[in-house]
């Protein structure tokens, strides 16, 4: 029987993210065999203008909450001797850099490294850990950027040229 748990993580303050309520909810149930860590946010600004509050908010949701959510799920699996899969939603920005996205890029690069380390640590328990790193997807987070014609044209141009190089 499949079970799902939706954890709405607050993005309005640079608080602890997942710790506490989310951990208790996970620990109170049988182990989850699949986790899709899909929470994320972005606060864009040039590197020289990044505010501490924006840095903390992005890192707390994109990295810290993902770390502790995965840890809680992995603890349940390991304690029950069960295998599972943790999928962290990363981004192409975890592999490249981009103007006005230094904090977002840093959070996704960190997620990529965290995922690799988790995969090594959790492999003996039969827990697989991977990332999915999509490019721009028209979500509520990306919509305000993609609404700007120049930005959208630049994104599409880059995607089309990469696709052409790959032979697609």
Catalytic residues: 104, 108
Residue with tokens 């903390």: 56
63 φ/ψ angles, rounded to the nearest 5 degrees: -120, -60
CA–CA separation, 42 and 60 (whole Å): 11
Q: How far is CA 143 from the centre of its chain?
A: 18
Residue with tokens 């640079």: 14
DSSP state at residue 126: T
Q: What is the largest distance, in Å, between two alpha-carbon atoms of the chain?
A: 52
For residue 17, is it left (φ>0), alpha (ψ between -120 and 50) or beta? left
The percent of the chain in helix, strand and coil, each rounded to the nearest 5, is 55, 10, 35
104, two tokens: 């977002």
């Amino acid at each position: 029987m499949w079970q799902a748990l939706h954890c709405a993580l607050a993005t309005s303050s640079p608080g602890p993210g997942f710790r506490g309520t989310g951990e208790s909810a996970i620990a109170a149930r049988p182990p989850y065999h699949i986790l899709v860590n899909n929470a994320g946010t972005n606060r864009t600004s040039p590197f020289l203008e990044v505010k501490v509050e924006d840095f903390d908010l992005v890192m707390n949701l994109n990295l810290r909450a993902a770390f502790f959510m995965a840890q809680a799920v992995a603890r349940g699996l390991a304690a029950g001797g069960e295998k599972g899969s943790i999928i962290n939603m990363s981004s192409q920005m975890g592999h490249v850099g981009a103007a006005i996205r230094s904090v977002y890029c840093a959070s996704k690069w960190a997620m990529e490294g965290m995922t690799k380390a988790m995969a090594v640590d959790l492999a003996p328990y039969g827990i697989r850990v991977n990332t999915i790193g999509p490019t721009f997807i028209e979500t509520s987070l990306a919509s305000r950027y993609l609404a700007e014609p120049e930005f959208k044209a630049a994104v599409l141009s880059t995607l089309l040229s990469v696709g052409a190089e790959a032979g697609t």
